[in-house]
Amino acid sequence: TWCQCHLNSCCVQQLEIAEHTPPGTRFQIHAARDPDIGPQSVQLYKLNPNDLFDTEIRDSEEDKIPFLVLKRPLDREQKSEHHLVLMALDGGSPSKSGSLNLTITVLDANDNRPVFSRDIYTVSLDENSPIGTLVIQLNATDLDEGLNSEIEYTFGKTQKKKVQDTFELDSLTGEIRVKGKVDFEEIEIYRLDLQASDKGHPPWTAESRVVIKIKDLNDNQPEIEVTSLSKVVPEDSKPGTVISLISVMDKDSGLNGKVICKILDDVPFDLTPSIEENMYSLVTKGHLDRESVSHYDITITANDCGDPSLSIVKSLSIEVSDVNDNRPVFSQNPVELYLVENNYPGESIISVSAADSDLNENAAIAYHIVRSSGVHREVTSFLNVNSEYGRITALKGFDFETQKTFQFQVVATDSGTPSLSSEVTDHSLFGLDRYTGQIRTLRSFTETDEAEHKLVILVKDNGNVSLSATATVIVKVVEATQPYLRSPCLSGSGSFLSQTNSGHLCL
C-alpha cells in the first residue's frame, strides 16, 4: 500500500521484495505532493546511502515519479528487512523537504538446501536390541523459512531392503529406531544412506550416511563337529593314534567366540590341539585292553570365554575291537589221569577244556595232540582228541603189562592271526614206574617251574579185595651247587631235594 506524502511531513511505506529478484528491477514509490507549481514544486528525490538500492526519477507532465532500483541481489538469510529514507526537495529558497520511511521486507526464496549436522554419523548398537529402540536422531537444518525450511527425512533411493526391514526412519523427527531383528552374526555393520528434503518448489535435498556398528553379545553356544576316522579302535593301537577330528566353532566374536575344548571323563583318550585354530585330534593316550573295557562313552565339552560362558556337550561312543592278544587257557594244567587196562576202543577217557578271553575267531579253539619224540612218540597211535570239543578217546585198549605210564600234550590253538596256543600234559615234570616205584624227571627244570612240587603216590595190591596206601613226596628244587639229601626210600610221607639236572628218585 502506498501512501502519498506532502512536503514538510513524514510518511511510512512498506515494500515486499523477493530475495531472488534480479538486480536492476525497479519498484515505483509514491511521489511527494507540493501545492506549489513551477520551480517551487518538487524538484529532487534523495535516498539515504546504502549498498542495495538506488533511486531513479521519471518525469511526467505534472510530477516527478520516483522509482526504487535494486542494485545487488538480496539475501533474506543475511538480512530479512531493510529500512530506507527517501527525501523529496522543492526548488524554493529556502528549500522545503519531506521524507518517506521505506521498510523493505525481503521475501524468502528456496535458495538454501538442508544441511545435516554431520556428513557421517557413527553409532553402536547392541545386537538383539528390542524393537523400538532409538538408535539415533538426525538433525538437518534449512536457513530458509516457511515451507522452504520444513524438512522431511527419507532413506536414499538405492538403500537396500534389508536395511529398511531392520530400521525405521521417522520422516518428521529424523529418529531411527529398531524395526527388526539385529543379529551381529548375520550383519556386523549397517550403512544407511539418508536424505533431508525441504518442501520448497523445487525442493532441495541433502545427503548423509549413518554407520551402525553392531556390538556382539555372547548369545551363541559353541558348536562341535566330529569327523570320525573310525568308531572302532583296535585294542593294540599305540598311544597317540588319531581316532577322530574335532572342530569347534562359535558364531560370536572376540572372547565370546574363543572356545576351549576338553574331555570330562577319565578315559585313555585325550584332545590334542591342532595348528589350525579350533581344531583338535582325539587320540589314544594309553594302552587299550578290550578284555578289561570294550566300550567307551567319551564326553567332550566346549566352553566359550564369554561372560557368562556358554557351553555345549558332545558324546562319542568308541568300540574297542579285539586283537588276538590272549592265549587259550586250560581250566586244569597239568592233568594227572589213572586209567584201567583192557578198556574199549573208542571209549572217552577224559575231556580237556580251554578258554580264550578274545572274541570270535580269536577265541575259536581247536585241540590236537602233539606228536612226541622219544619214549612217548607212539602216544598218537592209541589216543585221539576231538578238535572242537577237546574230548580224548582211546583208539585201542590199554595193556598194563605193555604200557604202564605215558605222557602226552594236548595243544589248544585259537583261530586268530597269528594264532596263539597253550599245552596241557598229563604230568609236566615227573613220571612214576608203577612196579619199581621210581619217580623220574621227564624233562629238565626251567626257571619258570615251581621251586616245590607236591606228589601224591598211590600204591595198591592185586588181591581180590585190593588194599592201598598213599605217600606224599615233596620235591624241592635247588641249585646244583647246593647240598641235597638222597634217601633210598620213604614210607608215608617225606621230602626230597632234587638237583636241577635230570635224575630219578625212589619211593
For residue range 43-64, list pLDDT tens digits in order. 788 999 999 999 998 887 667 8
For residue range 322-380, list pLDDT tens digits in order. 888 888 888 888 888 888 888 888 889 899 999 888 888 888 899 988 876 554 556 77
* Gyration radius from the chain CA atoms: 61
Q: What SS3 class is residue 164?
A: helix
Q: Which of 291, 321, 351 is the last residue of a domain?
A: 321
Residues 455 and 421 in one domain: no
Residues 206 and 124 in one domain: yes
Residues 204 and 287 in one domain: no
SS3 content of the chain, % helix, strand, coil (to 5): 5, 45, 50
Residues 344 and 393 in one domain: yes
Query: What are the angstrom distances between the C-alpha of 420 and each of 356, 413, 467?
Result: 10, 6, 45
**pLDDT on residue 462:** 64
Residues 6+ apart with CB under 8 A from 196: 114, 116, 138, 140, 151, 152, 153, 174, 205, 206, 208
Residues 22 and 95 in one domain: yes
Tell which residue, 274, 261, 243, 244, has the closest CA to residue 300: 261
Residues 6+ apart with CB under 8 A from 269: 243, 263, 282, 283, 284, 285, 296, 298, 318
Please tell me the distance from the alpha carbon of residue 193 to that of residue 209, in angstroms, as a whole number: 5
Q: What SS3 class is residue 487?
A: coil
Burial letters 407-420, b for 16+ CB under 10 A, else e: bbbbbbbbbbeebb
What 8-state DSSP symbol labels residue 288? -
Residues 494 and 447 in one domain: yes
Identify whether the C-beta of residue 382 lies closer than 8 Å to the C-beta of residue 395.
yes
Confidence of residue 105 (pLDDT cuts 50, 70, 90): very high
Residues 200 and 244 in one domain: no
Backbone angles phi, psi at 413, to 5 degrees: -120, 130
Q: What is the pTM of this model?
A: 0.54
Residues 414 and 438 in one domain: no
Please tell me the distance from the alpha carbon of residue 300 to that of residue 100, in angstroms, as a whole number: 98
For residue range 445-484, list pLDDT tens digits in order. 766 666 777 777 777 776 665 576 778 788 888 876 655 5
Residues 405 and 441 in one domain: no
Mind spelling out the 3-state secondary structure of 143-158? CCCHHHCCEEEEECCC
Residues 146 and 102 in one domain: no
- The CATH number of the domain holding residue 166 is 2.60.40.60
Tell which residue, 282, 173, 63, 480, has the closest CA to residue 498: 480
Q: Which of 107, 135, 169 is the last residue of a domain?
A: 107
Identify whether the C-beta of residue 104 lies closer than 8 Å to the C-beta of residue 17.
yes
What's the whole-number average pLDDT of the chain? 83
Q: Which of 186, 215, 244 is the last residue of a domain?
A: 215
Structural domain containing residue 172: 115-215
Four-residue CA torsion sign, 333, 334, 336, 339? positive
Burial class (CB in 10 A: 0-12, 13-18, 19+), 471: middle
Residues 455 and 487 in one domain: yes
Residues 366 and 396 in one domain: yes
Confidence of residue 9 (pLDDT cuts 50, 70, 90): low
Total domains in the chain come to 5
Q: How far apart are the first and last CA of the chain?
A: 163
Q: What SS3 class is residue 355?
A: strand
- Of 4-8, 304-308, 401-405, highest mean pLDDT: 304-308
**pLDDT on residue 341:** 85
User: Quick one: average pLDDT of 390-419?
Assistant: 84
User: Quick one: average pLDDT of 20-44?
Assistant: 82
Query: What are the angstrom distances between the C-alpha of 163 and each of 49, 186, 208?
Result: 58, 12, 15
